[in-house]
Amino acid sequence: MTPHDLVLMPCGLRFLGRQFPCSIGRGGVSGQKREGDGATPVGTHRVVGMLYRPDRLKAPAPWARPITPRDLWSDDIADPAYNHLVRAPHGFGHERLRRADPLYDLVLLTDWNWPDAIAGAGSAIFVHQWRRPRYPTEGCIALRRDHLHWIAARIAPRARLIVR
């Protein structure tokens, strides 16, 4: 591990020597991640992208990509594009990335079950803004808005998210 890794600890997420309170999946931490179980998967996951809402904030890093109104994330195990960014209209189950609430205003994408997704092994483990302190996610890691922005301004592509 290095200080540039995001490390999930019992008391929060560690990055660059700082500790940040965070939320994890409602299913806890699991070594047997499955679609819909609400678990945060154990492992070392690379940060492979950063998405942001350009209508709500400036790009937090040069490598961040804007979220457009047509951007979706496939979570349908029958979809050939399962666990990938897709565009509307899309005939399979998906999650809209451009949400009315601020949860996905800034998103770090991980390589959990990506790019060669195994259907049913779980999709979309993101690092994003939380609803409120410690409110569980569907498997993602969520942070307070200002903490997420602080991390996003300093994290490098291919940094690691380590979940034990």
CATH code of the domain containing 21: 2.40.440
Please tell me the predicted confidence (pLDDT) of residue 12.
Answer: 97
Tokens linked to 61: 């890093």
Please tell me the predicted confidence (pLDDT) of residue 1.
Answer: 86
Domain-located, residue 21: yes
Number of structural domains in the chain: 1
- Report the mean per-residue pLDDT for the chain: 97
CA angle 74, 9, 45 (to 5 degrees): 35
Q: Once rounded to an integer, what is the mean pLDDT over residues 7-11?
A: 96
Burial annotation 114-151 (CB, 10 A radius, 16+ → b, else e)? beebeeebbbbbbbbbbeeeeebbbbbbbbbeebbbbb
Domain-located, residue 130: yes
Domain-located, residue 1: no
CA angle 64, 130, 42 (to 5 degrees): 80
Q: Once rounded to an integer, what is the mean pLDDT over residues 138-147?
A: 98
Domain assignment of residue 47, given as a range:
6-163
